[in-house]
Amino acid sequence: SRSVCLMRRLRMEETRSFCAEHRACLDDWLNRGIKNGFVKLYLQPKMNLTRQEITGAEVLARYEDPSKGLLTPDDFIPQLEDAGLIGMLDLYIMERSYRLLRDLRAAGLKLIPLSVNFSKNTLLAPGLLDEVERIGAGFEALRGYMEIEITESVGNVSRPDFTAACAALRAAGYRLALDDFGSEYSNLYMMSAFRFDVIKIDKAVVAEVADNEISRALVESTVNICGKLGIGCIAEGVENKEQAEILTTLGCPDVQGYLIDRPLPSEEFTVKYLEGR
Ligand code: C2E
Ligand code: CA
Ligand code: CA
Ligand code: CA
């Protein structure tokens, strides 16, 4: 049955469709990962270059598969999305992030805001708010440290549904970021559907900022819009000093990327960035 499942998974990669048996197989794989602690939280710092200060961290999922080794999101997130299972992962990561914040506070460390990723499929799932409230119960004092990044996913989104789901999370006390801004999935249309707390400029824009005047103009106008609205703006995928300098000059000193650090296992992140501060 394992090989049948694998065959189906391969076929799915071709067709991007799935069958009930395949879904059950993935469901089982994810549940095993959650139960056995194979699903790991990796944290990547966000930094304000002007203040030279860590302003938060993004939580990124990894799956340490006993047979395949460390899997990154590209290896499993599209499949989970197609099978309608991404919400289970997103909510699990949120719960673990709350527990991490609680442990950090218990250890007497200064907290930084964490951001978790919600696929649009998660955002639009019926009953999402109840689940989020269930997870957040008992962590009320930490809610201000939990930010949700709304990430691309397959499928069309109806604007009223999108706006309503964002508004419900906001009303529940969450800060919301629009992820991958400037990519094919995240644009002015999405930005105007809801007043986000933060806009994250996509790494594809950042990658061209040194060579492409259009990318620089895009950063400048995004910074300008965010300034007018009084919301935050951060550039992701910043890999070198040249990009960092250009972004700072264009008014975007808040960055995330390999220049600052790679995503690190949460224990390593804690030692490196939070202990002894
Ligand atoms: P994202 O939300 O845009 O996250 C940033 C991705 O860029 C991460 O990839 C990160 O490792 C990578 N990155 C960071 N700095 C740099 C850099 O300087 N250069 C380049 N080229 N890349 C950089 P990762 O961890 O492989 O995650 C890929 C995507 O998977 C994420 O993109 C996000 O959309 C999704 N993802 C990750 N964790 C979750 C999750 O728990 N739930 C959901 N729904 N999606 C997730
Ligand atoms: Ca993200
Ligand atoms: Ca992103
Ligand atoms: Ca992405």
CB–CB of 198/233 below 8 Å?
yes
Q: Name the residue with higher pLDDT: 7 or 205.
A: 205
Question: CB neighbours (10 Å) of residue 48?
Answer: 15
| pLDDT above 90: residue 276 | no
For residue 106, CA distances in Å to 22, 95, 137 come to 42, 17, 17
Question: CB neighbours (10 Å) of residue 194?
Answer: 18
Alpha helices in 48-127 (DSSP H): 73-82, 86-106, 120-123
Tokens of 21: 């048996």
| Residue listed under structure tokens 């965010």 | 226
Ligand 1, atom 19: closest residue by C-alpha: 237
Q: Which ligand is nearest to the CA of 90?
A: 1
Q: How far apart are CA 151 and CA 123, in angstroms?
A: 9
pLDDT band at residue 186 using 50, 70 and 90 as cut-offs? confident
User: Would you mind telling me the total number of residues written for the chain in this entry?
Assistant: 277
Ligand 1, atom 14: closest residue by C-alpha: 257
Question: Rounded to two decimals, what is the model's pTM?
Answer: 0.94
29 CA to middle of ligand 1, Å?
A: 21
| pLDDT above 50: residue 117 | yes
Q: What is the mean pLDDT of residues 113-134?
A: 96
Q: Which ligand is nearest to the CA of 185?
A: 4
Ligand 1, atom 41: closest residue by C-alpha: 61
34 CA to middle of ligand 4, Å?
A: 23
CA triple 168-27-97, angle to 5 deg: 45
The conformation of residue 274, written as its DSSP 8-state character, comes to I
149 CA to middle of ligand 2, Å?
A: 5
Ligand 1, atom 23: closest residue by C-alpha: 237
Q: Please report the pLDDT score of residue 1 as a whole number.
A: 45
Ligand 1, atom 27: closest residue by C-alpha: 73
Give the position, in ligand 1's atom list, of the atom nearest the Cα of 93: 41
204 CA to middle of ligand 2, Å?
A: 13
Ligand 1, atom 4: closest residue by C-alpha: 60
Pocket (CB within 6 angstroms of ligand 1): 44, 60-61, 72-74, 77, 86, 89-90, 93, 117, 119, 149, 151, 179-180, 203, 236-239, 257-258, 263
| pLDDT above 70: residue 10 | no
Q: Which ligand is nearest to the CA of 73?
A: 1
| pLDDT above 50: residue 133 | yes
CB–CB of 118/151 below 8 Å?
yes
CB–CB of 199/176 below 8 Å?
no
115 CA to middle of ligand 3, Å?
A: 11
81 CA to middle of ligand 4, Å?
A: 13
Q: Please report the pLDDT score of residue 20 as a whole number.
A: 84
Q: Please report the pLDDT score of residue 4 as a whole number.
A: 54
CB–CB of 207/237 below 8 Å?
yes
Give the position, in ligand 1's atom list, of the atom nearest the Cα of 149: 2
